[in-house]
Amino acid sequence: MKKEQSYHDRVDINNALKLRELMDDLPSFAFEYFRGIESTTSSKTRIAYGYDLRVFFDYILTYHDAFKDKSIKDVDVEDLMLITPTDIEKFLEYLSYYYKDDKEHQNKERAKARKLASLRTFYNYFYKKQKVPNNPSLLVDLPKIHEKNITRLEVDEVARLLDEVESGEQLTNSQKKFHKHTKDRDMALLTVLLGTGIRVSECVGLDIEDIDFDVNGLKILRKGGNEVIIYFGDEVRDALLSYLEKRNKMIPASGHESALFLSIQNKRLSVRSVQNLVKKYSQAITKLKNISPHKLRSTYGTTLYRETGDIYLVADVLGHKDVNTTKKHYAQIEDERRRQAAKVVKLRD
């Protein structure tokens, strides 16, 4: 019997196929770049770089005078030095609003910053290989990103969200037909997201054997490929046990036998399915907040930080490689704590 392919292996294979297709729209020397960064990046990151570079070279071949008579396969690594910092600045301006394949595209500051970061990494690779003498993208300032307030659920909203998953009272009639079949799964899934702070990709990648009820732990694969154990509390344990009673009676589709969370079709839930599921339930309890699985992760991080005050613990549990990333996300809570501290100290009764 053929061994079931893991979720993460399938994702990597699909991303490799997507990148292979992207290579048709990139210079031939880009293959060396993607092969060179394979050991230090995830397949998802390489796909993102590929899309960003495709937009860049499409712009260069269309608007740069030195490239107008070239096809994408005529561009070689030495041609990178024909591109100046000013050209890159014009590219970032172009990203604000453009048409491609009869579709309108708009990039805000964050998307522009990501594309510039992709270019910096691209140039830097060939600079280190001594195939270009400098990196002009480093002379272009990153777009100023206006930080947004972190959207998260308050304690009472979390309770109402789980109540809605349990009852399904505010769902549409068609949604209610499916709710009785998926209630236990949905409760377990949302409880895991809210009670552990794991990423949605980590959640859909869970297999049944990744749960250890002896220690109340989940084995997950982090970004970068590191395998870690995340621990959960009694509420998560109860929700998982309740769901597993039904899950163990289900007959999964071929290739999905190990998956923890199954769809109506008895296949592993996709990231998009979980996003839609979270949206469906959250819209019933809040009209002003656009709640996604990542917002549930932020909710968990916020709760953990408020309870412990330990930013390093939060960074570790959330899987942030750099604690400064965590500090940036939870700076608002830190400011609240500082304000509270100012009220505690009394100079005169």
| Bridge partners of residue 103, in order along the sequence | 100
Q: Which two structure tokens, joined as six digits, stand for 246?
A: 């039904």
Q: Which two structure tokens, joined as six digits, stand for 44?
A: 């998802």
pLDDT tens digits along 285-309: 998 899 999 999 999 998 998 888 8
SS3 at position 100:
strand
> How high is the pLDDT of residue 323?
87
Full set of structural domains in the chain with CATH: 7-139 (1.10.150), 155-341 (1.10.443.10)
Q: Show Cβ contacts of residue 58 under 8 Å, excluding neighbours closer than 6 positions.
A: 25, 100
pLDDT tens digits along 78-98: 999 999 999 999 999 999 998
User: CA triplet 176, 180, 183: central angle to 5 degrees?
Assistant: 105
- Averaged pLDDT, 217-245: 93
Cβ neighbours around 199 below 10 Å, total? 19
* Cα–Cα distance for residue pair 243/56, rounded to 1 Å: 47
* Cα–Cα distance for residue pair 15/290, rounded to 1 Å: 28
Mean per-residue pLDDT of the chain: 91
DSSP 136: G
* DSSP for 235-298, written as a single string: HHHHHHHHHHHHHTTS-PPTT-TTBSSB-TTSSBPPHHHHHHHHHHHHTTT-SS----HHHHHH
Q: Which of 177-191, 249-263, 332-346 has the lowest mean pLDDT?
A: 332-346
> How high is the pLDDT of residue 1?
44
Percentage of residues in the chain with pLDDT exceeding 90? 74
SS3 at position 216:
coil
- Averaged pLDDT, 243-252: 96
